[in-house]
Amino acid sequence: MKVALAGASTGVGWHIADAILASGRHELTILSRHEITEFSSRGANVIIVSYDTTDALIHALSGIHTVISAIGDHSRSGGAQLLLVQAAAAAGVIRFVPSGWSATDGGAQDTVELYRYKQPALEALQKSSMQWSYPENGIFLNYLATPSAGISHLKPLKFWIDVENCTASIPGDGNIKLAHTTVQDVGRFIDKALDHEGEWPQSLKIVGALVTHNEMVKMAEKIRGKQFNVNYMNEDQIRAKLVPNPLSIYVNMATNLSPAILEGRFTFEANFNEHVSMDFTLPEEFMKEWWGNSA
pLDDT classification of 295: cutoffs 50, 70, 90: low
Q: How confident is the model at residue 76 (pLDDT cuts 50, 70, 90)?
A: low
The mean pLDDT value of the chain amounts to 94
The model's pTM is 0.95
- pLDDT tens digits, residue range 121-146? 999 999 999 999 999 999 999 999 99
Report residue 185 CA to chain centroid gap. Answer: 11
Inform me whether the pLDDT recorded for 155 exceeds 80. Answer: yes
Residues whose CB falls within 8 Å of the CB of residue 197, separated by 6 or more in sequence, listed in order: none
Question: pLDDT (tens digit, 9 = 90+) per residue, 88-110?
Answer: 999 999 999 999 999 998 888 88
Supply the pLDDT for residue 74.
Answer: 62
Average the pLDDT over 151-174 and give the result. 96
Give dist(CA 267, CA 211) in Å, integer: 9
Upper half-sphere CA count for residue 238 (Cβ side, 13 Å): 21
**Residue 118 pLDDT level (bands cut at 50, 70, 90):** confident
Task: State the pairing for strand pair 2-6/66-69.
Answer: parallel
DSSP 3-state of 240: helix
Q: Is the peptide bond before 135 cis (omega within 30 degrees of 0)?
A: no
For residues 6-30, average pLDDT: 97
DSSP SS3 for 294? coil
Whole-number Å distance between alpha carbons of 198 and 219:
39
User: Measured between alpha carbons, how far is 225 from 246 in angstroms, rounded to an integer?
Assistant: 35
Length of the chain in terms of residues written: 295
Contact 30, 45 (CB under 8 A): yes
pLDDT > 70 in the chain, percent: 98
Query: pLDDT above 90 covers what percent of the chain?
Result: 81
Higher-confidence residue of 152 and 50: namely: 152
Please tell me the predicted confidence (pLDDT) of residue 77: 75
Greater confidence (255 vs 185) lies with 185
Do residues 266 and 167 make contact, with C-beta atoms less than 8 angstroms apart? no
152 band by pLDDT with thresholds 50, 70 and 90: very high
pLDDT of residue 112: 80
pLDDT in tens, 187-224: 999 999 999 989 999 999 999 999 999 999 999 999 99
Mean pLDDT value across residues 31-44: 94
